[in-house]
């Protein structure tokens, strides 16, 4: 119980939530043990229902928002409410009263002497509590475990029936996906090692260096991971570098590089010859990028903890053969993989992200040489962050850039020549691709 509360508490500050869970489970000696898998399932169940659980907290405590409560109290309530409302059939307590008392004592010692008693009263209120919708928005939230505004956007995008299949696919737990680093290992070697570890791996039909298998998996103890033979990456993300096709000796710029999976992959495709300039504003994630490329044996990456929009001023214009714009986005295509993300989706953020994405594409156009190529990608499903951003660039800079049509292996985008990955169709994360070429006109 302490490990679960700690994981839920950490998940508010540490992103992605998987990392928060790993840190907490490691602290309590659970990571990689027989307890890891069932407790991980409980943790993801909580993350999946966070918004609904918080609605219950408001009802049970009378608080206008769970965010007004002490974070430790909020985390404890989230765990106990999930177990009582959503996991009764699958989870039983060995000593329920003792769990409740110990948690209450822990809260009283760290928050306020009366908080423990208040916590017990709220949990005991669950015995008669029923979570019921109070509005049409509530009905959408409870049906799909998503913010209502987002559900409406997806229905508008895909139509009611297709949207229902897509939104329900976000509740399915995906397999773990890794890519083999061909500079250090072969696919066959990785498959054999995973089988020896008790896994049943499958090779992607789209990217033959991507391997999937059921979790959990302790990457901290994995020799394959620690030696740089595998990189954590989803199939559509791995395909991005292949589509951009950076070649040995070229100059490549990655404008939103961290945490570095695509940067590292481009280094592999370039056979560690040439130069990759990697930009990102997040210093912590850039340290992860630097560690990743070091572990993978890639030596051609030069990092800049700076906004990618500044890259033309830093490097000069017309200097790159290829530019990757894997733009910051809503990341809603990864909701099955990152269940906590659904409750951080904010409708007003979409327009802000679209403007940032457009400005990064403008910077890429300045950086690339005539005849050079730009790949624009996101892991969002929203048209505002995908086709509409590309259309805006083509409309305003049409004399300087053209769209290079993509035909498969995934579905056509809403803008002819672009490509989309649909989670419920392709059984992986949602993704968008647009390949552009600078014509030199204008």
Active-site amino acid positions: 379
What letters, b where the CB count within 10 A reaches 16 and e where it falls short, cover 254-282? bbbbbbbbbbbbbbbbbebebbbbbbbbe
**How many residues would you count in the chain?**
442
- d(CA 435, CA 195) in angstroms, rounded, equals 37
Element (H, E) at 252: strand 251-254
Q: Which residues contact 426 (CB under 8 A, 6 or more apart)?
A: 236, 410, 411
b/e per residue 341-375 (b: at least 16 CB within 10 A): bbbebeeeebeebbebbbebbbbbbbbbbeebbbb
Place of tokens 């733009």: 327
What is the 8-class DSSP label of residue 372? Answer: E
3-state secondary structure of 281: coil
Dig out the tokens for 125 from the structure: 């209120």
Distance CA 265, CA 252 (A): 12
Q: Hunting for tokens 């897509």 — which residue is that?
A: 166
Peptide bond connecting 73 to the previous residue in cis, omega within 30 degrees of 0:
no
């Amino acid at each position: 119980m302490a490990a679960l509360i700690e994981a839920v508490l950490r998940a508010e500050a540490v992103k992605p939530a998987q990392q928060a869970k790993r840190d907490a489970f490691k602290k309590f000696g659970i990571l990689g043990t027989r307890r890891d898998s069932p407790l991980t399932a409980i943790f993801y169940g909580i993350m999946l229902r966070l918004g609904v659980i918080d609605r219950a907290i408001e009802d049970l405590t009378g608080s206008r928002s769970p965010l007004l409560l002490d974070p430790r109290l909020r985390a404890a309530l989230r765990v106990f409410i999930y177990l009582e409302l959503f996991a009764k059939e699958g989870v039983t307590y060995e000593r329920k009263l003792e769990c409740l008392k110990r948690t209450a004592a822990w809260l009283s010692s760290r928050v306020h002497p009366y908080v423990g008693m208040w916590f017990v009263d709220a949990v005991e209120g669950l015995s008669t509590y029923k979570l019921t919708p109070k509005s049409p928005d509530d009905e959408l939230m409870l049906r799909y475990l998503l913010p209502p505004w987002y559900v409406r956007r997806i229905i508008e995008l895909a139509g009611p029936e297709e949207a229902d299949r897509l939104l329900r696919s976000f509740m399915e737990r995906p397999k773990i996906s890794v890519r083999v680093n061909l500079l250090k290992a072969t696919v066959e070697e990785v498959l054999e090692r995973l089988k020896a570890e008790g896994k049943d791996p499958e090779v992607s039909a789209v990217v033959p260096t991507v391997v999937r298998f059921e979790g959990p998996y302790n990457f901290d103890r994995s020799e394959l991971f620690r030696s740089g033979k595998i990189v954590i990456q989803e199939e559509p993300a791995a395909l991005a570098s292949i589509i951009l096709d950076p070649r040995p000796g070229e100059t490549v710029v990655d404008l939103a590089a961290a945490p570095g999976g695509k940067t590292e992959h481009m280094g592999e495709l370039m056979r560690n010859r040439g130069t990759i300039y990697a930009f990102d504003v997040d210093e912590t994630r850039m340290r992860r990028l630097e560690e990743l490329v070091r572990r993978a044996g890639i030596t051609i990456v030069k990092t800049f903890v700076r906004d990618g929009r500044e890259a033309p001023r830093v490097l000069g214009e017309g200097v790159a053969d290829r530019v990757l714009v894997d733009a910051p986005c809503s990341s809603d295509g990864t909701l099955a993989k990152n269940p906590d993300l659904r409750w951080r989706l904010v409708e007003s953020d979409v327009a802000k992200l679209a403007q940032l994405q457009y400005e990064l594409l403008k910077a890429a156009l300045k950086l690339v040489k005539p005849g050079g190529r730009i790949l624009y990608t996101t892991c969002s499903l929203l048209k505002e962050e995908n086709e509409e951003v590309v259309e805006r660039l083509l409309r305003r800079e049409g004399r300087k850039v053209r769209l290079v049509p993509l035909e498969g292996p995934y579905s056509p985008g809403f803008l002819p020549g672009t490509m989309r990955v649909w989670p419920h169709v392709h059984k992986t994360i949602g993704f968008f691709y647009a390949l552009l070429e600078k014509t030199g006109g204008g």
